[in-house]
Structure 1
Amino acid sequence: MTVEFVTSSQEETIALGCTLGSLLREGDVLVLTGDLGAGKTQLTKGIARGMGVSGDVTSPTFTIEMVYEGERMPLYHFDLYRLVDVGELEDIGLYDVLGGDGPCVIEWGERFVDEIGLERVDVLISRLNGEGEGEAGAGIEPLRRIRLTAHDARGEDLLRALEKSTDVE
């Protein structure tokens, strides 16, 4: 099952993430894919907000993992950009939190989907206006397509709930 949204600003991307975050459950896994600057961290900021995380959310590029305490459960946020070997997944503790007590958002995880497993939702974020400023105009946010694809029954339930809960098109 696949659903797709288009956002036209950072605020809309965060709002979509906020709705998604409010629907997440323990053990949910989202694998975020997109070019640098596509909006992965903005979507994650919204997810955290929707889970009641009050602190600042940043991409854990150098720390690889951040844990944020939400109102109901923790959010595990990974950035696998710097990883090159499958063996590193165990070293960073990814397997310890998959299926655990909170959802897991994994940026740059597309190279490791076989190890992550099928109990996940893939989130592909892409700019619709090429690189943005050149085609969209100086200072104007490019449109972003956010395509979510479920690989299991829980993911399909999550995407159906997201479709019902959002007015972002």
Structure 2
Amino acid sequence: MDKFLENLLLKYIVTNTDKYSEYTSSSSSVDLIISCTVLEHIRPFEMHISNLVDILSTGGKMLHIVDFRDHDHRKVKDDPYRYWRFLISDNVRCAKSCNRLRHSQMMQAFKKYGLKIREIDLYQKQLPNGLQEQLLPRFQSIPKKDLKILMATYLLQKR
């Protein structure tokens, strides 16, 4: 893996978000940002996206994989609402660790900060009957098409 990374001719490789601040001082200096199941945990989300856009060079790209599922879904296999439990209750672990934003909200932020959507790959699942009635009141207005999206891969580019 190290040889592969060397061949990419990358100036910075940040593998730990604790070191992120070291690279934020040099504006427009990063050509590629990759995250895997990170954005669903970031708060405040828009401020983070703004910071990423600031350090991204013009034409630079971002690749983000986002998991919109309750992260404990594997522990409750017999629950038809297992992927959405953190939208049904504030008393589950993922409700505290995830920002609970949905695909459309992330898309709005990406566009607001001038990112061009190069490609999107969505993993969707049919909704179980009665799901929307089970959601906490503040999530009941989420469109069904947004609730169906369980994972997304975004390829974005700074204009």
TM-score when normalising by structure 2 = 0.32
Q: Which has the higher contact order (CA 8 A, sep 6+)?
A: 1
